[in-house]
Structure 1
Amino acid sequence: MTEIFANTSFSSADHEDSDDDEVTNHFRKRNWEWARDECFVCHQKSARFIRNATPKSKLKVSGKGASGLRKCSYPQCPVLFHDRCYLNFSEGDFLPSMHVLDAFGEPCFDPIIQGKKWICPQHECNACHQELLRTRSQLGAVISCVECIFAWHRSCVPVGSHHVNRFQDKCVLCPRHSDLEKKSRFNMPYCVVCDKKLMENKIKCDSCIRSFCEECWAKDIKKKKLRRTHNSSEDRFVCGFCICVDHPRIGDYVLALSGRKLYPAKSLHADQIPSSLLRKSDLVEKLEEPGYVLIRWIEGLEVPNYAVVSYKHLVPMPKSFSCFIWKTLKKCGNIYSAVDELYKKQEVCFGLDRSLPVEVKRVKSVPYKKIEV
């Protein structure tokens, strides 16, 4: 294996504590202009005039500047926001109520009055948070998006991110800033939530290849969002995974679209591309753009095949080997056997079954102090 770009190296030095003024070839300098003097939600620099039933005397809380903007309580964080903007912010499944702490360091019932510490989204791993792994989401160093408020453990960066080098890059460009569109009319033949085989009554996402059964769709109100395109008066369905940018992590096993069929693969970081593929300019050019991901097909071959696909054209592997999609691959003996082996070794994991990110493992536990009674 070798790197894609001559300027990248594989040093494992501590780069989480980076200098924002350092200028290098790719994402090693963050664009902070959006955060230093305006609300990260509404992008306004002055106070917002919002009707509020709370008496003005109760709204005089610490942490605000003359403009009505509050500064994130995390040490040396420059992010600013209005209280109301923050409390209504839900992008990326962010839960404001869990990030406003009272004097005892606990989430408070009334943030406006009791809130002492207001923490912005860039101090936790968004991927772990979305999988409800709240404790590990707030442990370990994270790497931030160069253009927005979200961050991830280096081990948890989502597919579709422009992440050239795992070791040198101090920021990434997340899929929110990709203009890639779905280029296929194909949608997966089973429900992405319950793995149920779908026939006629399936709900298709127009932004990715995910499909949903009516039962799973009805249970999750969050995902019921229709957007109207500029070129059409018809409503366009965009699923909750796309809206919240809840995609597989780089390194996860996935199903990727090839032609009109889904095949198993493993998503990889761009710097893991074999040197033999560097001559294929079409692959390298795609990896230089946000929205694409390097994959290695699961075929049971000694010499594996690689491809670069749009993050819109892949989904997580089914939760179990009993999903009917695997029966369609029985004729492909090598693929079927290789996937069976992955499930037996429990390498296809979700949620609590995931191993701890390397960044979390590095965190030293706080030593207990013996208290004499």
Structure 2
Amino acid sequence: MPLQSSKNRQLDGVRQENEEVEVVNQGIDENQVPEADVPPVTIESKQALQRKAQAKKEQQKKAIVEMDFVGTTYPGITVSAVTRDHLKVEHFEPRNEQTSAEFVAEEVEKCVICHSVENEQNEELIDCQGLMNGASRRMNCKSRFHQTCMINYNHGGFMFQYSARPECQNKLLCPLHSCVECSIVHKKQAAYVGAIVECLVCLRGFHTECVPVGAKMITVDIPSFERGFKLDMMVCPSHASLKSTGSNISVCYDCDEKDGVLIKCSTCLRSFHEACRETKQLDGQALDSTRCCFCLCADTVKVDTPVIARWRGNTFYLAITRDWKEYPKSQRSSATKFKTLGYTVVEWKKEGSKSILPISDICKLTTTNVKAAAKEVAEEWQEALNEQANNLPPVVYKEVLRTGQTSRYLNGKPPKTDERVEEVGICSCTGPNRCTTDDCIYFAMNNECPPECGRDGRICKNRNVSDKNLHPHIERRETLDKGFGVFATKPIQRGEFLSEYVGEIIDKAEKARRWDVIIKSSDFEVNIFMMDLKNGLTVDAARYGNISRYINHSCDPNCEVDITHIFVREEKNHKWYEERAYIKAARPIAEGDEITFNYDFDTNMKTVCYCEAENCTGVIGAADRRQRARKRQKAPKNAVQPTTSSASKRRIERTEEEQPVQKKSRTERTAPIAPNLLHSNRARPTAATPIEPRTVFAAPPPAPAPEVATVSPMAPRPQRRSQIRALEVRSRPVITGNIEYFDVFPYHSFPVC
């Protein structure tokens, strides 16, 4: 007998109920009025249920995006990683590489954070919109959570509100879809890109290239699922029970000072000052006074990282953490701790030999250690940091949420700030290049021609933005380390129109709101696409745009930003225009060249530049403006200064006393200074703190930001990138301290106590 589907069985049940109702009704008098009508039974299709569920998720996401952005108190006030109660492990041994587990039905219906169905706010549970990591087939994540619970969960710098916004992932995701290591170092875009390995025990995940040393990789079978379903997971090192096995370093790990009261960590080799601890509160409680922040917050060290490692009790040397596969095969059988949870392989930098150490006997080498090192070893240590800095997060190739051919207002209604122009009629321009010289009154006023100029067989070449033109010889491509970029497919001549800078036109209030999110996000990879117009309006291509949003910055750009005005409506004897920004070629561009322009930051942001031009300043925006200012100061007093008048105010006026104005094509006109451009080239890695995100922490005043952007812009190009990357190695800011005590230890070793 063939099996019935669940839908057929449901239909049969409905038919049977209807038949029973009909039989009962046969004995009822026709004149008798039934007490109540039986409501019709409706059956929703699977597709309808899915659409309804998707609509509900979109409503939940919209509500979270529109609410006030809370920001984070991490690392000043933070929480521990939450255990996974909804996944029950059958049995696990520290050296096992395979185990089985089951999803607990009762726990799956609870919040993964508070482990309850209801919270104090009586909020509805939200389904995670991510896919299960490490699964042998695509499967939805099992996590469910309350909105408030997830907003308050900030372990490892996780920010639920930020991931839900279009500026980040535009999804409601649990922490299992964000790499803890990348999030801690403020790579909040790359944190969600690439394969992630989940911890079997807690809500932590790491990129495959960010898996911490001391972790135990494990394959998990799920027997209740179909045959062959497996999960590639790990047990992170925070679940290893380890204690310090010897003496501690005799200086504070954070500030490198040995003065004051030093506290020896009871679970690792670090020593610290109470005042140097960034974290002040964990899980709502005061910190354990005997443990350092690294151990309390379960911070990690990646493979191929320079570390200070203990050698036989009381001596410390420079070493590099390595993968288990690099440990000599001939020694594996006798190594009792090989591939054991909480242990790692280290390669001694000087000798090249390898040892197995507990992770409590190593600590990450920092730039502060290098600055404090003796000259004999400082170069070697810096080289080790440079090598480690090449282990970069995945390149982020991020698509715009919505595409369009021209800019649009966020609320659909233009403000009453348009420019009014007296009626001048259709221009008298002729020839193949109509309306491209100052003889055209609209061109001379920096306005595009009205629609009638291009009618009745006339060809108008002064309506590029109005006609939504896009240069046919440009295309988007992936770059090696800057995300997407735009390139020329054929030669482009100087002055040619490339594209309108398309985005949402927002007012001051919305701009301030979006900037607030950027500041509080603490994201070094934040995508900023704001270009200021006049009258308090801004074009933002973060959520809506065209190919122009992918154009990267350069200190020696081949394109520039210009301003024009497009016709929007006509009232009586006046034409009304709106301001628009567009990109044009500043010089001839060869086939295959990348299209670039100068972002000209007008903020205190210190975003590292990777344009690799000969005149690269190393920093986007501020440094470039200072360099131009210095050149103007050095110029002779009688030198002709470049024009700085606004394009919107430039107007050609002729009188009888003036000499005839020479006709100029648009390519020969002096371009105005680019508008205030607040636009980040998706440069990777964005090493500097964009807008001092630490100012939003509720904890006591933290340590100053790392000196990432202080690298000399005059450093040779091959070295500057490695130097900048090396300065990123430190996951948290440190305070520069006394360096004299290192001078007496020239042979890689550290003082102990």
User: TM-score per shorter chain, which class?
Assistant: 0.5 to 0.7
2:267 corresponds in structure 1 to 207
Change in 2 beyond 3 A, CA 1:320/1:83: closer
2:128 corresponds in structure 1 to 72
- Aligned mate of 1:192, from 253, 256, 259: 253
| Unaligned runs of at least 5 residues, structure 1 | 1-24, 60-67, 108-115, 228-234, 331-335
The equivalences for 1:354-369 within 5 A come to: 355-357=391-393, 360-361=394-395, 366=399
Alpha-carbon deviation of 1:366? 4.6
- Aligned mate of 1:179, from 241, 251, 262: 241
Change in 2 beyond 3 A, CA 1:174/1:199: same
1:32-91 CA deviation, whole Å, 9 max, x = no partner? Answer: 4497333222233x223x1x4xxx8xx6xxxxxxxx432112242111122232222222
For residues 345 and 263 of structure 1, the distance between their equivalents in structure 2, rounded to whole angstroms, comes to 13
Conserved? CA contact 1:321–1:343, under 8 Å: no
Q: SS state of the match for residue 262, structure 1?
A: strand
Q: Does residue 145 of structure 2 align to residue 81 of structure 1? A: yes
Q: Does residue 336 of structure 2 align to residue 297 of structure 1? A: no
Conserved? CA contact 2:197–2:232, under 8 Å: yes
Conserved? CA contact 2:218–2:232, under 8 Å: no
2:386 corresponds in structure 1 to 347
Alpha-carbon deviation of 1:117? 4.1
2:115 corresponds in structure 1 to 43
Alpha-carbon deviation of 1:164? 7.4
2:364 corresponds in structure 1 to 316
- Aligned mate of 1:148, from 197, 202, 209: 202
Change in 2 beyond 3 A, CA 1:346/1:193: same
Change in 2 beyond 3 A, CA 1:287/1:164: farther
1:185-223 CA deviation, whole Å, 9 max, x = no partner? Answer: x222233223x2314422332222222245533x55357
The equivalences for 1:82-161 within 5 A come to: 82-101=146-165, 105-106=166-167, 117-161=171-215
Alpha-carbon deviation of 1:29? 6.7
Q: Which has the larger radius of gyration?
A: 2
2:295 corresponds in structure 1 to 242
- Aligned mate of 2:355, from 291, 307, 310: 307
1:275-301 CA deviation, whole Å, 9 max, x = no partner? Answer: 121232xx2x313421111111112x3
Conserved? CA contact 2:215–2:342, under 8 Å: yes
Read off the aligned partner of 2:330 and give its amino acid letter. S
Conserved? CA contact 2:370–2:381, under 8 Å: no
Read off the aligned partner of 1:206 and give its amino acid letter. S
Alpha-carbon deviation of 1:124? 1.6
Read off the aligned partner of 1:356 and give its amino acid letter. L
Conserved? CA contact 1:321–1:340, under 8 Å: no
For residues 304 and 327 of structure 2, the distance between their equivalents in structure 1, rounded to whole angstroms, comes to 13
For residues 96 and 175 of structure 1, the distance between their equivalents in structure 2, rounded to whole angstroms, comes to 24
1:312-368 CA deviation, whole Å, 9 max, x = no partner? Answer: 1110013156454x44xx9xxxxx65x73351475265xxx55423xx14x656599
1:245-278 CA deviation, whole Å, 9 max, x = no partner? Answer: 2121122111111211221111111122111212
For residues 94 and 369 of structure 1, the distance between their equivalents in structure 2, rounded to whole angstroms, comes to 29
Read off the aligned partner of 1:203 and give its amino acid letter. I
| Unaligned runs of at least 5 residues, structure 2 | 1-95, 132-139, 220-229, 406-467, 470-753
For residues 114 and 244 of structure 2, the distance between their equivalents in structure 1, rounded to whole angstroms, comes to 29
Change in 2 beyond 3 A, CA 1:240/1:208: same
For residues 106 and 79 of structure 1, the distance between their equivalents in structure 2, rounded to whole angstroms, comes to 23
- Aligned mate of 1:256, from 302, 309, 313: 309
Change in 2 beyond 3 A, CA 1:255/1:130: same
Alpha-carbon deviation of 1:169? 8.7
Worse overlay, 261-270 or 82-91: 82-91
Change in 2 beyond 3 A, CA 1:369/1:316: same
Change in 2 beyond 3 A, CA 1:288/1:220: closer
Change in 2 beyond 3 A, CA 1:199/1:32: farther
1:163-199 CA deviation, whole Å, 9 max, x = no partner? Answer: 379xx99211101221223333x222233223x2314
| Identical amino acids, percent of aligned pairs | 24
Conserved? CA contact 1:157–1:250, under 8 Å: yes
Conserved? CA contact 1:159–1:249, under 8 Å: yes
Conserved? CA contact 2:301–2:364, under 8 Å: yes
TM-score (norm 1): 0.66
Conserved? CA contact 1:41–1:85, under 8 Å: yes
Read off the aligned partner of 1:79 and give its amino acid letter. S
Change in 2 beyond 3 A, CA 1:31/1:153: farther
Alpha-carbon deviation of 1:129? 0.4
Read off the aligned partner of 1:198 and give its amino acid letter. K
2:432 corresponds in structure 1 to none
Read off the aligned partner of 1:73 and give its amino acid letter. Q
1:14 corresponds in structure 2 to none
The equivalences for 1:157-168 within 5 A come to: 157-163=211-217
For residues 261 and 323 of structure 1, the distance between their equivalents in structure 2, rounded to whole angstroms, comes to 20
Q: SS state of the match for residue 337, structure 2?
A: helix
For residues 356 and 384 of structure 2, the distance between their equivalents in structure 1, rounded to whole angstroms, comes to 26
Count of residues paired in the alignment:
290
For residues 387 and 262 of structure 2, the distance between their equivalents in structure 1, rounded to whole angstroms, comes to 25
For residues 391 and 339 of structure 2, the distance between their equivalents in structure 1, rounded to whole angstroms, comes to 30
Q: Does residue 340 of structure 2 align to residue 276 of structure 1? A: no
Q: SS state of the match for residue 209, structure 2?
A: helix
Conserved? CA contact 1:29–1:170, under 8 Å: no
Conserved? CA contact 1:28–1:171, under 8 Å: no
For residues 97 and 275 of structure 1, the distance between their equivalents in structure 2, rounded to whole angstroms, comes to 47
Conserved? CA contact 2:126–2:147, under 8 Å: yes
Alpha-carbon deviation of 1:122? 1.1
1:287 corresponds in structure 2 to 338
Q: SS state of the match for residue 294, structure 1?
A: strand
